[in-house]
Amino acid sequence: MEKVILVTGANSGIGLALCERLLSEDLGLQLCLACRNMQRAVAARSALLTSHPDAHIDLLHMDVGSVRSVLNAAQEVKARYNRLDYLYLNAGIMPNPQFDLRAFFKGLFSSNVVNMFATAEGLLTQQDRVNKDGLQEVFATNLFGHFLLVRELEPVLCQAGHTSQVVWTSSSNARRSAFSLDDVQHRLGTEPYASSKYASDLLSVALNRHHNSRGMFSSVICPGLVMTNLTYGILPSFFWRLIMPVMYLIRIFTNTFTLTAYNGAEALHSLFLQNPESLDPRAKYHSLTSGMGINYTKARQMDIHDDMSETLYEKLLEMEKSLRRKLKEEEDDKQAYRKYLLQTE
């Protein structure tokens, strides 16, 4: 039976490179590209079909930052496929990034320089905003929409006699100090990206605790620093082009500069090849590239406390409940209004 794989944010960057790599591995896969921008999704599908004309590729509209869109898309998935083998939660945003040049130069001449290049600790802040559901956009996109998707897809992910794998594209920018259980959406801080990625690490551990017995396994990966639309948004593109040779030089000293989307997808691809039961639920799988351009994946232990991951999980369940209640009320109001209009006609 062909494996069914759904990838969010599959129309560009690391998500698209993953699809390309999966198809090179096995043409008998059923790939589903879940995307917000359908024009780019169609282009991505055509590009994949050019290199793999016999591939089975479906498109699915899903704005992972919108509760309604995720619920609709999940219904569609359950109608189309009776089981899901891999769910890659890859879509992500880093809006309005601000780069701290002073911190960069200070870090450059400190003993922390390698860590600074690997994690960008202290270098980046972002300006977030509230979305239509009343949630912080970064939290909604990078974490909550994906959480809701996993919850909705439980019937196709957790099936007797079958294992499934959920893989989060996290980041080495994820940091416990950027996250607070009192402010899970990061309304008050300036590092929503680091916070959302740390939350995904916590959530993955909690998902394993609650779902392993039902055959669903969750892992997190970091693709390293990859030149994609997300990173091009941090500094002007002419600057990136100018410093590209320097980036390749830095790679000699830090294997985290994977740079290409193909290299960045290494850990995602490597997890596809492994038995989910053999993976370490508390490890983050890093895509790394040596100075000679050799790709490999390395597992590193995450800085996670079980009680913290459990509390986050419970808070997300609560949030889900209240958002569903709100949607139901809105739906009821709409129905009542329609009925009223019909009666007054």
Ligand X SMILES: NC(=O)C1=CN([C@@H]2O[C@H](COP(=O)(O)OP(=O)(O)OC[C@H]3O[C@@H](n4cnc5c(N)ncnc54)[C@H](OP(=O)(O)O)[C@@H]3O)[C@@H](O)[C@H]2O)C=CC1
Ligand Y SMILES: CC(C)CCC[C@@H](C)[C@H]1CC[C@H]2C3=C(CC[C@]12C)[C@@]1(C)CCC(=O)[C@@H](C)[C@@H]1CC3
246 scored as a contact of ligand Y (CB under 6 A):
yes
Please identify which residue in 77, 87, 135, 230 interacts with ligand X, judged by CB under 6 A.
230
Known catalytic residue: 193? yes
> CB of residue 169 vs ligand Y: minimum separation in angstroms?
9
Bridge partner list, 220: 168, 284
202 scored as a contact of ligand X (CB under 6 A):
no
Please identify which residue in 231, 260, 297, 311 interacts with ligand Y, judged by CB under 6 A.
231
The span from the CA of 265 to the CA of 267, in Å, is 6
Stretch that binds ligand Y, among 23-31, 142-150, 227-235, 313-321 (CB under 6 A): 227-235
> CB of residue 175 vs ligand Y: minimum separation in angstroms?
11
The span from the CA of 179 to the CA of 69, in Å, is 27
297 scored as a contact of ligand X (CB under 6 A):
no
The span from the CA of 232 to the CA of 240, in Å, is 7
Q: Which of 88, 193, 198, 285 is catalytic?
A: 193
Q: Tell me the residue type at 181.
A: L
Binding residues for ligand X, rule CB under 6 A, total 30
Footprint of ligand Y on residues 153-192 (CB under 6 A)?
Answer: 171-173
The span from the CA of 201 to the CA of 215, in Å, is 19
> CB of residue 21 vs ligand Y: minimum separation in angstroms?
19
- What burial letters (b/e) apply to 27-54, b meaning 16+ CB within 10 Å? eebbbbbbbbeeeebeebbeebeeebee
Please identify which residue in 243, 244, 252, 317 interacts with ligand Y, judged by CB under 6 A.
243
> CB of residue 169 vs ligand X: minimum separation in angstroms?
4
**Residue 74 or residue 120: which is nearer to ligand Y going by CB?**
120
Question: Which x/- pattern over 136-155 shows residues binding ligand X (rule: CB under 6 A)?
Answer: -----x--------------
DSSP string, 226-281: B-SHHHHTTS-HHHHHHHHHHHHHHTTT-TT--BSHHHHTHHHHHHHTS-GGGS-T
The span from the CA of 91 to the CA of 197, in Å, is 12
Q: Please name the residues in contact with 112: beta carbons below 8 A apart, sequence gap of 6 or more.
A: 121
The span from the CA of 266 to the CA of 326, in Å, is 40
The residues that touch ligand Y, with contacts defined as CB under 6 A, are: 99, 104, 117, 119-120, 123-124, 171-173, 222, 225, 231, 234-235, 243, 246-247, 250
The residues that touch ligand X, with contacts defined as CB under 6 A, are: 8-9, 11-15, 35-37, 40, 62-65, 90-93, 141, 169, 171, 222-223, 225-226, 228-231
Which residues are tagged catalytic? 193
